[in-house]
Amino acid sequence: MSTPTETPSETETEGGTRLSYETRDRLYNLALYGSAALFSAVILFPIYWMVQNAFTDSQTVITEFSWLPSPETVTLDNFSVLAAGAVPRYVINTIVVTAGTIVVVVAVSLVAGYGMARFRFRYKQSFAQFLLLGYMFSPIVLGLPLYLIWSEIGLLNAQIGLVIALSSISMPFAVWLMWKYIQTIPESMEESAWIAGASRWRTFWDVVVPQTKPAIVACALFAFAIAWNDFTFAQILLPSQESTTFAPGIMRLIDQGGYTSWGDIMAVSLLMTVPPLLFAYFLQEYLLKGFEVRTR
Amino acid sequence: MASETVESTATADRRSVRGRLGLDGEALRGWATVAPVILLYLFVAVTPIAFAIYASLFEVPLLNPNWTFTGLSNYVEVLTMNSFWSSLWLGALFMVGSTVVQLLVGLWIALVLNQLDRGQRFLTAVAFTAYLVPTVIVVLVALFMFDVEVGVLHIAGSTLGLWGERTFALGDQTWAMPLVVLVGSWKFSIFVTIFTLAQLRAIPDRFYEAAKICGASRWEMFRDITLPRITGVLLIAVLLRAVFMFNKFDIIWMLTEGGPAGATTTLPILAYRTAFLHNDYGVANAMAVVMFVFLALGAYCYFRAFDPTAEVDT
Amino acid sequence: MTVHIDNMTRVFDSPNADRIVAVDELSLTIEDGEFLTLVGPSGCGKTTTLRCVAGLDTPTAGTIRVDDRDVTELPPQQRDVALLFQDIALYPHMSVRENMEYGLKIAGVPEDERREHVAEAAALLQIGDQLDKMPASLSGGQQQRVALGRSLVRDPSVFLFDEPMSDLDAKLKRELRPVVQRITDEIGCPVLYVTHDQEEAMTMSDRIAIMDDGELQQAGSPKEVYSEPTNDFVGEFIGQPAMEFFDARVESANGTAAVSMGNHTVSLPATAAELEGYVDSPVRVGVRPQQIGIGDPAAGIEAEHVLDEPLGDETHSIFETEFGDVTVVTHADFDGDGDTDYGLVLDESATQLFDPDSGVRIH
């Protein structure tokens, strides 16, 4: 009874009759590298398309379709969008908000992470739990009520208000990372500095902060990504055209129909994409460290 | 001996007396260091949610300072709105569609990355790039690529007969929702990859070597070694993606503003429209409360499924 | 400077268990220029004591004084102590020079003066050519030298060591011991050195204090604690290999005392009167393995040879007796034979008697 059922499975495991071991290996590698090529293409093509059109004469962009850039139409003119109009203001606003968020996130999370790692206090566990709840904050849920609160206390249309909101949603990651990172620094180094006469604060600056650099960079990158990426909070909390950041600003321009030069849009898109890529490239070691702690 | 000593010197027991009150210098300093975080949370999360619950009990015309207390009638209004139920349905569609696509693609990329002998660094860099491109840029490029005049994807789709030559795909009843899901997944799939990859790399090679010696096929190794190891982390990723996607606002709003004719109006879009376009802030806050309840349920499941505070050492 | 520890107690609260008494009414004085070693098994409270002296921990009760100044509650910054940590604790982001001059920098010493101090210390420690390196590129022994130098340049009024050599291998330890002694002599302040290694304690100290379970057992010169332990714990802890113990009974014959262990009797160099109260009572006899000879089965405690551990200059031989396994230090050429019956002969002048209940030494 059992013989007929066993035969096919045997041939399969030994790979004798149907497909040789080499063939299956080749097929497997084909699927593997085929997938890799497919993903690369799907991810890279839109980026290529953006870059190509950013450097193409804006008239050509909307009239002719071409897979490859042609030398006659290559131009830097599209980047002049940064010289006039509303776009430069949006970009500057984004830079201001992002810088502010990075400063607040790093400062607050560094101090809190140090406190969590080095002081014993009651309800620390509850605080950690409370902290993690922050992963559940959603800009749209918080943004709707914040709109009226911010307008009551005068933070509506103020970039500091956006900085506060963005910093808050970055906290769970940043504090957790700092906390776990500072725990890996031996306490005896601080004690050694205290004994040498350094105050707790000075020791924090001289001994703890320099050694926390990877975590600081990871937190700064994370805050950068949150702020640079934000649309929802800025859309709700910065309704005025003067104060708003790039994402809501450009969407409103397009909405009003006043802006359809794809060449210009691709040029500024490219410029907004470069900083995160550059940071990630130069600081990838730190970035991976940060993700490692997080996914643990 | 020892306990006698403690009793007799109880008054001199400087530390623990204050310690028991939780007020010694160390605890105070500890709380001081985390105070800014607590303040931020109170300011940006706790207050708004409390305020949303409060405001949801009033009729609040945005431009009018006079609030009228209406009790639960905002909730009744929300629950009887056709658009609420349709947005819930569309939201579920968007959530499930996005989560499934992101899970499959993200897991696939992770498995491929883990197996590649050559080009691993390159593909990692490429995958991260998608995650790093700001959402608004993803949207702008997508709008450009679906442009009816010169959009490369528009032309590709109409050549294949998916949509008409003059049809803006993102403005098409049938295509808007799937395309929004796909554009979002282009950026967010890598989230699942990052989650999974760390876990995959933590599986020791000797497990696979032992399986190979037993003659296991690649599929059997995946089923018996890899999959059980990553199920936990996949569940977390699915939960987080589902919760985030249910509350996703930016990419949908920027791509379609909820259109065409409400075809992509999920709950966050409806709440935003209700507040700022229909001027009905109280009802919008009732919707925010509903979304918050969903988030809280997600958080509860998250804490139950995987206790993150287990690693808290005091 | 003299350090006085008076009746110091340190109790730790633990949320789940009972309170832990880490140090129990410890009183100890470290004279100026004295090298005092605090030794004991792990968990005996020696490190807690050291941390209280450093100011990194505060005693629950009792006082710590330096000369006439009460420092019990002073923070570590105001104590002018130096501490060498077990994990060395060099700052990885500072060069060797920056590590060594950090204390002076805090104290506001001008730069050229700092350089001078560092150069002097580095010369003394033979690390002059390492000053511009980063700590991570140094070997463990060199790192410990840098840490010593860091303390040396500050010229502290009390020098503390927290098991600084426990992570080093035996050869490096032997190399560093004289360096530590030279440095502490140079500074000439009271030194409190904590270790669990009795050999380190014996070779380096002016005085050894042995702690067990939070309580001080004995304090005295290395020779004193070796030859006149106050109790069986000290007897066993100090000396290598550890002291052997036999259950015995005191007998008196014509005014001279003897102890009988099973069938074997050893007469003691003491009169029965000196052992008042213990005659015809059980005692524990302690003998160092160096003071046990090998003879005929009739001449000593019957023993069966188990194994030899040749060390080159001597051999540690292990025998099985009715009192359990006994280690004996034998001649380097000794080669035990499992089929021969041996007798272990105790050197009567070197036997020590301990109370079987309290462990206190009687004679």
- Give the pLDDT confidence of C246-288 residue by residue, as tens digits: 998 888 877 788 888 887 888 887 777 778 788 888 889 999 9
Residue C282 · residue C248 · CB < 8 Å: yes
Does A16 contact C at CB distance below 8 Å? Answer: no
- Can you give the pLDDT at residue C316? 93
User: Which has the closest alpha carbon to C5: C56, C78, C54?
Assistant: C54
Contact C58 B15 (CB under 8 A): yes
Q: Which of C77, C92, C93 sits opposite A194 (nearest CB)?
A: C77
Among chain A residues, the shortest Cα distance to C103 is held by A196
With CB atoms and an 8 Å threshold, state whether A142 touches B55.
no
C251 and C178 together in one domain = no
Q: Which of A193-197, B212-216, C34-38 has the least mean pLDDT?
A: B212-216
Residue C362 lies in a domain: no
Question: In total, how many domains does chain B have?
Answer: 1
Give the integer Cα–Cα distance in Å for B6 and C24: 9
Contact C19 B5 (CB under 8 A): no
Please give the pLDDT value at position A289.
62
Q: Are residues C157 and C275 in the same domain?
A: no
Residue B137 lies in a domain: yes
The whole-number average pLDDT for the span C33-52 is 93
pLDDT number for residue A75: 82
Please tell me whether residues C209 and C277 are part of one structural domain: no
CA B14 to chain CA centroid, Å, is 48
Instruction: Name the neighbours of A, counting chains with at least 3 Cβ pairs within 8 A.
Output: B, C
Q: Which positions in chain C touch A193 (Cβ < 8 Å)?
A: 91, 102, 106
Q: What is the model's pLDDT at position C141?
A: 87
Q: Model confidence over C109-133: pLDDT tens digits?
A: 999 999 999 999 999 899 999 999 9
Task: Please give the share of chain B, as a percent, with pLDDT higher than 90.
Answer: 30
DSSP string, C240-304: SSPPEEEEEEEEEETTEEEEEETTEEEEEEEEGGGGTTTBTSEEEEEE-GGGEEEE-GGGSEEEE
Per-residue pLDDT tens digits for C198-232? 989 999 999 999 999 999 999 999 999 999 999 99
- Name the band, by pLDDT with cuts 50, 70 and 90, for residue A290: low
Q: C-chain residues within 8 Å CB-CB of A186? A: 87, 89
- The Cα B97–Cα B91 span in angstroms is 10
Q: Is residue C341, in this structure, part of any structural domain at all?
A: yes
Q: Which of C85, C61, C67 is nearest to C11 (CA)?
A: C61
Which of A119, A130, A291 shows the shortest C-beta gap to B29? A119
Cα–Cα dist B213/B127, whole Å: 34
pLDDT at position B181 over 90: yes
Nearest to C289 by CA among C363, C344, C335, C341: C344
Same domain, C96 and C220: yes
Classify residue A274 by burial, with Cβ atoms within 10 Å: 0-12, 13-18, 19+. exposed
> How does DSSP assign B13-79, residue by residue?
-HHHHHHHHT-SHHHHHHHHHHHHHHHHHIIIIIHHHHHHHHHTTEE-BTT----EE-TTHHHHHHH
Please state, for a pLDDT cut of 90, what percent of chain C lies above it. 54
Rounded to an integer, what distance in angstroms lies between the CA atom of residue C29 and that of residue A120? 32
Of A108, A96, A235, A106, which is closest to residue A159 (Cα–Cα)?
A96
Chain A residues in contact with B311 by the CB 8 A cut-off are 296
pLDDT in tens, C163-204: 988 888 888 888 889 999 988 988 889 999 999 999 899 999
- 10 Å CB burial of residue C220 (0-12, 13-18, 19+) is middle
* Count of residues making up chain A: 296
What integer is the mean pLDDT of A103-115? Answer: 96
Cβ-based burial of B135 (10 A; exposed 0-12, middle 13-18, buried ≥19): buried
Question: What is the tens place of the pLDDT at every residue in B141-157?
Answer: 999 999 888 889 999 99
For C12, the 3-state DSSP assignment is strand
Residue A260: per-residue pLDDT: 65
Q: Which residues of C touch B9 (CB under 8 A)?
A: 9, 60-61
Query: What are the two backbone dihedrals, phi and then psi, of residue C292, each rounded to the nearest 5 degrees?
Result: -110, 130
Range of B279's domain?
Answer: 82-307
Tell me what pLDDT residue B23 has.
53
**Between C8 and A259, residue with greater pLDDT:** C8
Backbone angles phi, psi at C264, to 5 degrees: -105, 140
d(CA C134, CA A12): 59
C173 and C317 belong to one structural domain: no
Spatial separation of the C-alpha atoms in residues A209 and B261, rounded to whole Å:
54
- Across all residues in chain A, what is the average pLDDT? 84
Coil, helix or strand at residue C43: coil
CB B287 within 8 A of CB B271: yes
Same domain, C14 and C120: yes
Q: Taking CA atoms, what residue in B is nearest to A58?
A: B150
DSSP labels, B212-252: HHTT--HHHHIIIIIHHHHHHHHHHHHHHHHHHHHT--HHH
Q: What is the CATH number of the domain that holds C105?
A: 3.40.50.300
Confidence of residue C337 (pLDDT cuts 50, 70, 90): confident
Burial-class residue A257 by CB neighbours within 10 Å (0-12, 13-18, 19+).
exposed
- The dihedrals phi and psi of C103, each to the nearest 5 degrees, come to -60, -40
pLDDT at B34 over 60: yes
Last residue of a domain, one of C211, C237, C263: C237
Assign B302 a pLDDT band (cuts: 50, 70, 90): confident
Q: Are C142 and C270 in a shared domain?
A: no
Q: How confident is the model at residue C46 (pLDDT cuts 50, 70, 90)?
A: very high
* Shared domain check, C163 and C42: yes
pLDDT bin (cut points 50, 70, 90) of residue B22 is: very low
Residue B61 within a domain:
no
State yes or no: pLDDT of B8 exceeds 50: no
Q: Which SS3 state, helix, strand or coil, does residue B258 take?
A: coil
The CA–CA distances, whole Å, from B252 to A246, B106, B298 equal 17, 21, 21
Q: What percent of chain B has pLDDT over 70?
A: 89
| Cα-based distances in Å from A111 to A108, A179, A181, C311 | 5, 9, 12, 56
User: Among A147-161, A254-268, C320-334, which is the least confidently predicted range?
Assistant: A254-268
Q: Look at residue B306 in the predicted model and tell me its pLDDT.
A: 64
- Residues pairing with B164 in the sheet: none
Lowest-confidence pick of A45-49, A270-274, C257-261: C257-261
**What contacts 24+ positions apart, CB below 8 Å, involve C100-106?**
C100/C131, C100/C146, C100/C149, C100/C150, C100/C153, C101/C153, C102/A193, C102/A196, C102/A198, C102/A206, C102/C150, C103/A196, C103/A197, C103/C150, C103/C153, C103/C154, C104/C153, C104/C154, C106/A193, C106/A196, C106/A197, C106/A198, C106/A202
What number is the average pLDDT over the span A171-177? 89
Residue C209 is assigned to a structural domain of this protein: yes
Q: Are B14 and C58 a contacting pair at CB < 8 A?
A: yes
Q: Higher-confidence residue: A22 or C134?
A: C134
When pLDDT is averaged across residues C49-78 and rounded to a whole number, the result is 92
Domain boundary among C237, C259, C274: C237
* % of chain A beyond a pLDDT of 90: 46
How far, in Å, are A215, B23, C51, C168, C211 from residue B314 at the CA level? Answer: 21, 17, 21, 31, 29
Same domain (yes/no): C285, C198 = no
Residue of B49, B116, B218 lying closest to A28 (CB–CB): B218
Structure tokens at A229: 């990426």
Whether residue B213 lies within 8 A of chain C, CB to CB, comes out as no
Would you call B119 an interface residue with chain A, using a CB distance cutoff of 8 Å?
yes
Q: Which residues of C25-46 are buried (b: 16+ CB within 10 A; e: fewer)?
A: bbebebeeebbbbbbbeeebbb
**Percentage of chain C exceeding pLDDT 70:** 99
- Per DSSP, the three-state class of C220 is strand
pLDDT higher than 90, residue A112? yes
> In Å, how far is A145's CA from the nearest CA of chain B?
5
Q: Is the CB of residue A109 less than 8 Å away from at least one CB of chain B?
A: yes
Mean pLDDT of chain C: 89
Within its chain, how far is the Cα of C127 from the centroid? 29
From chain B residues 8-37, the ones with a CB under 8 A of any chain C CB are 9, 12-16, 19
**Nearest residue, CB atoms, C87 vs list A186, A194, A206:** A186
Q: With an 8 Å Cβ cutoff, are B41 and A130 in contact?
A: yes
Question: Is A107 a residue whose pLDDT tops 60?
Answer: yes
Q: Would you call B5 and C214 a contact, using CB atoms and an 8 Å cutoff?
A: no
Same structural domain for residues C194 and C323?
Answer: no
- Does a structural domain hold residue B314? no
Nearest to C24 among B5, B12, B13 (CB): B5
Q: Are residues C189 and C330 in the same domain?
A: no
Same domain, C258 and C216: no
State the DSSP H helix or E strand holding residue C63, giving kind and residue range, or none if neither: strand C61-66
C124 belongs to a structural domain: yes
Q: Is the pLDDT of residue A74 over 70?
A: yes
Instruction: Measure the CA–CA gap between A234 and A232, rounded to whole angstroms.
Output: 6
Residue C318 lies in a domain: yes
**Tell me: the pLDDT tens digits for B199-258?**
888 888 888 888 888 888 888 888 888 888 888 888 888 888 888 888 899 999 999 998
Q: Which residue has the higher pLDDT, A23 or C226?
A: C226
> Which CATH number is B252's domain given?
1.10.3720.10
Backbone phi and psi for residue B82, each to the nearest 5 degrees, phi listed first: -65, -40
Q: What is the mean pLDDT of residues B84-109?
A: 93
CA distance C359 to chain B (A): 17
Q: In this complex, how many residue pairs, one in chain A and one in chain B, have their CB atoms less than 8 Å apart?
A: 261
Q: DSSP letter at A204? A: I
CA A222 distance to own-chain centroid: 6
The answer, for C279 touching chain A at a CB cutoff of 8 Å, is no
Specify if B266 maps to a domain. yes
Whether residues C9 and B16 touch (CB distance < 8 A) is answered with: no
More confident residue, A77 or B178: B178
Q: Is C49 exposed, middle or buried (0-12, 13-18, 19+ CB in 10 A)?
A: buried
CA-wise closest residue to B248 among A169, A145, A272, A141: A141
User: At C353, phi and psi to the nearest 5?
Assistant: -110, 140
> What is the 8-class DSSP label of residue B180?
H
Over residues C347-356, mean pLDDT: 88
CATH for C302: 2.40.50.140
What is the reported pLDDT for B115?
Answer: 86
**Nearest-by-CA chain A residue for C100:** A196
At residue B149, the 3 state secondary structure works out as coil
Contacts of A251 in chain B (CB under 8 A): 136, 139, 254
Domain range enclosing C61: 3-237
Query: What is the C-alpha separation between A197 and C154, in angstroms, rounded?
Result: 10
Q: How many domains are contained in chain C? A: 2
Closest CA to A46 of B33, B187, B142: B142
Which pair of tokens denotes residue B6? 């403690």
Picking from C237, C258, C292, the residue at the C-terminal end of a domain is C237
Spatial distance between the Cα atoms of C338 and A159, rounded to a whole number of angstroms = 89
Q: Which of B25-29, C41-45, C100-104 is least confident?
A: B25-29
Distance of CA B175 to the CA centre of its chain: 24
Per-residue pLDDT at B270: 94
- Domain membership of residue C309 (yes or no) is yes
CA pair distance A278, A286, nearest whole angstrom: 13
- A186 in reach of chain C (CB within 8 A): yes
